[in-house]
Structure 1
Amino acid sequence: MQKGINTVKRFKEITIGAQYFIVLFILWFFIGGYLLIQEQERSIYKAINNQHTAFKDTIFPYITHIGEAWVIIPSLLLLLFIKAFRNKRFIWAMVACNISPFLITQAIKGIINAPRPLKYFPDISFIHRVAGQPENYDFSFPSGHSEGSFAFLCFLSLILPKRYRIFGLLFFFIGLIVLYSRIYLSQHFFRDVYVGSLVGGFSCLLCFWLINPFRHKTDQ
């Protein structure tokens, strides 16, 4: 019993910067799960995709890039210009928190090979398609962009100083917008982005807790 209490206490100490992010992430786990259970005939996808505007058509192709490697990797490397982050343990955490969920996602994609919206529906005439977006048909589950963005944004929240943990709220909502964009752009269904976000978030939290890049602080 005491060991369990100590483990929880230590987890809270290690992840203090992401306190607000984690609270919202837990809420998302339950709310998103409920929505997934209640969803019928891909209704969430249809509702989001059909609520299209010129503004959304313009901004979502850019926002969706937050979940891509060419955005995530350079952003993470920039962190190494900060002296406090230039140590082996931090680099290990940075790599593990972002690579582990990626590998898990790619493995699941290869095993399941679920169809994307453009392949799932026999008649795609009702689908709103944004010009310039790739026409993907396979490997829909789970969403790699959703996994990547949540792992990345969760990691950024975890390294926040305690006094700046409020920014975890911003990072979480940015993650949700990326999820929304993947559905809006007809790249994924709700279950794809939901599970992708869980893989990214939980994997990042687990790796960060195990590696504990700021061990010298939590041991004080």
Structure 2
Amino acid sequence: MKKKCIAALVLAAALASQPAWAFAAGSASSSGSDGSGSISSSSSSSNKGTTSSKSNTTVSVSSTGVKTTGATTSASPTGSTIGVAVDTVTTTGQQVTTNSKGEAVIGDTAVAFADSVAATTGLPSNVVSAINDINAGKPLNEAVQGVDLTGYNALTGTHAIITKDAATGTVKTGAVEVSLYVPNLVSNVNNVQVLFYDNATGQWQLIPAVKVDPVTKTVAVNVPGSGTLSVVYKN
């Protein structure tokens, strides 16, 4: 009986220590799972510029039918997972394919996520601090300066996205529409946007979603280039 009581206390303490966004709007994973189902292809190749516990070219299919690759899937330090959908079309009809590295290719832009080591490399200390605060569950209007986030909550942790020239692999700027797979997106969240730190401008901004689909758990958004993002909402 004493052992059971101790175990219960330990579990309660662990749950209490979770950041607020980990339970926001439903069933966010604290283990880094992306809710993926079957794996349709695989490769042993790797790429230090992207992050995933799976091979970068492995294609996973979520329970809602969304395909992502290892290169287009990212797990934040605190466990939330996000992905850029592949083998699909944007809201404007642009085909989203993949290249030999598993990156999403939209027009002349290749998109992937940075690995955990590279995610904050070279960023100003105040930006790194803000990123850490977001992932620790600190209120967004306290964590981030320069943008009005009153009433907003984080649906995911932070993830560093990279946009590159699809032909040369050189990092590039310029808006590109990506469909983000967000496993814990549910229908009762409103005003879904993407909080984005733009590496090129050095500024935080709120980017409105082009389309929000709670059935497939995807959020389409035009990202301006490489940077750090978190999906947020305001009810």
Report the TM-score, using the length of structure 2 for normalisation: 0.24
Report the TM-score, using the length of structure 1 for normalisation: 0.25
More strand by share: 2
